[in-house]
Structure 1
Amino acid sequence: MRRVAVVSGGNRGIGLEICRQLGRRGLHVVLGSRDEVRGSAAAAALAEQGLSVEPRRLDVSDERSVEELARTLAAEHGGIDVVVNNAGIAMQGFDAEVARNTIDVNFFGPLRLTSELLPLVRPEGRIVMVTSGLGDRRSVSKPLQAQLGKADLTRDELVQLMRKFVSDVSAGRHTAEGWPSSAYAVSKIGLNALTGVLARELAGDGREILCNAACPGWVRTDMGGAHAPRSAEEGAETPVWLALLPSGGPQGGVFRDKAPARW
């Protein structure tokens, strides 16, 4: 049975390169894209390279879009083997709207997609979160670091912390409450914590599914800019490595250049 990988935000940048590298390794890739036209064009370009790719509309901020994808995958593939949560945004400025939208896409988006697709993941499946070096917990206060780093942090507790950040920004008290003035950073801090939460939840699952996060580094993409030091190919290496981990691989970690992130 051919393995199936789902990649969100797969129509450009690091996501597109992840699709390419997974396809070259023999996986059938479901290229998720919020923009159907761009997603179809990206999938067609990969198919011209001889890769097995299908485009699917996927907006991780839209519960109905996520549910529709899950239904389609169940009907057409029966199950999946890899989920790469790559879709994300980096908005200009900082206010309540920026905080709300950024957390919704970068934190709740992966939570929605993973939760909806998890029943479809076959034994020894892999879940990958594409994070950032800005997700270093040291940018929040010591009390928040302690809460986010708890060994027994639950999904509900983490969700409440992310909602509290948005509420604190809206109320103008986020600095006093220990948060940085960067919604992107907080979203990735939350995503890293979510990786650990999901890993703990999966410990009793029985399917031996591994969940880890990958920091691709500063990459030359539309988001990273033209002056970033890394290519998309380099940025995709660690996410792809985590997507293809052998049995017994690491669980619940954050990795950069295929090694545990120092931060």
Structure 2
Amino acid sequence: MSSIGTRVAVVTGSNKGIGYAAVMELCAKFDGTVYLTSRDETRGRKAVEELEKLGLHPAYHQLDIDDESSVLKLRDFLVDTHGGLDVLINNAAIMFPMTTPAEKFVESIRKTIDTNFYHTMRVCKILFPILRPHARVVHLTSDDGHLMKISGREPEASVLRKRFSDPDLTEQELCQLMEEFIEAAKNGDYFERGWPNSVDEREDTWPNEGYIVSKVGISALTRIHQRQFDQDPREDLTVNCVHPGYVITDATYQKGEKTIQEGAEAACWLAMQPLSSSSNDVPKGSYVWHDKQIVDWVHGPLPSIY
């Protein structure tokens, strides 16, 4: 059924966790159609059924951000059915467990950077052209996505941070940084090159540098995207990244300080920001903490540990 003109929101990776809670929040407050998406259609439709029992009515569309054809199908569906897109929350991401064997280190780094950074960027390249004026985009990042997390050996780390924070950084240059990290991981000298190294005391496990660098990349990409939006003829396009807090999810082994509903709150707040005007300045290209505080991504400090 065609519903051209209806406002539309899409949340990636939303059959569980923070994405699921974001769909729940948007269904209750967003004036339009909200799409719950998932890689696995059976799990996604089950999540929709759970929300329907709560009196909420999300729509569903399959989406695997690792599969370009899946993203293209979603784009074509949105154009044919609604004529465009108004809200995009990029939540889909992966984090390998800390117990992953050491011999899987490089493979896991590559996969994490691919999914969390490159494939999120590809989603944006495919869906940004169908954004309508006043669209709101939110990238889920992390406290690990703050620039200060690039904390390897000095002065190499300072050089990396300067490159990441260059106000004229391009997507190509950002991708080059990602590839330099992957190459350093292969060579085993990533700390010496300035990249983070949160060494685990257990010799049979590896730390999660791939996740850290992927989220720093997403935070940097947010700034690039907002510069692109500022030059776009479509009016009032905004993008921000948000750290949801230490949330109880599968990724945190069901540990944390916040429920998934609390973790989704700031993302949904950004997604439903009012129209920007001279008297109403909305966040743009910002790194936002879970309490909705805008944090200086380059210099910090972070408001709390999480």
TM-score (norm 2): 0.83
The amino acid across from 1:83 in the alignment is L
Tell me the TM-score normalised to structure 1 length. Answer: 0.96
Contact 2:17 2:249 survives alignment (8 Å): yes
Partner of 1:254: 287
SS at structure 2 position matched to 1:223? helix
CA offset at residue 206 of structure 1? 2.4
1:112 to 2:122 alignment: yes
Pairing 1:67–2:72 present: yes
**Counterpart of 1:155?**
171
Tell me what 1:220 maps to.
Answer: 248
| Counterpart Cα distance in 2 of 1:246 and 1:46 | 26
Contact map agreement 2:249 2:255 (CA 8 A) in 1: no
Corresponding pairs, count: 263
The aligned amino acid for 2:189 is: R
Residue 200 (structure 2) pairs with residue 172 (structure 1) = no
- Among residues 177, 184, 205, which one is paired with 2:232 in the alignment? 205
Q: Deviations over 1:133-159 (max 9, x none)?
A: 011212221100000001111111111
| Runs of 4+ displaced beyond 4 Å | none
CA–CA separation in structure 1 for the residues paired with 2:8 and 2:57: 10
State the superposition RMSD in angstroms. Answer: 1.3
Which has the higher mean CA deviation after the structures are superposed, 42-51 or 219-228? 42-51
Question: Does residue 1:134 correspond to 2:144, yes or no?
Answer: yes
Greater Rg by CA: 2
> Which amino acid in the other structure matches residue 20 of structure 2?
L
Of stretches 73-82 and 168-177 in structure 1, the one that deviates more from structure 2 is 168-177
Q: Which moved more, 1:94-103 or 1:143-152?
A: 94-103
Q: Which residue identity lines up with residue 178 of structure 1 in the other structure?
A: G
**1:195 match:** 222
Deviations 1:5-57 (A, max 9, x none): 01001000100000010011133111110111111111122233333312222
Query: Is the 1:60–1:109 Cα contact (8 Å) retained in structure 2?
Result: yes
Checking the alignment, whether the CA contact within 8 Å between 2:79 and 2:130 is kept in structure 1 is yes
Whether the 8 Å contact between 1:61 and 1:108 is mirrored in structure 2 is no
Runs of at least 5 residues in structure 1 that lack an aligned partner in the other structure: none
- Aligned identity (percent) is 38
Say which is worse superposed, 210-219 or 160-169, in terms of deviation.
160-169
* Gap runs ≥5 in structure 2: 151-156, 198-208, 277-281, 296-300
Post-superposition offset of 1:161: 0.9
CA distance in 1: counterparts of 2:149 and 2:293, whole angstroms: 22
Cα pair 2:27 2:56 within 8 Å, conserved: yes
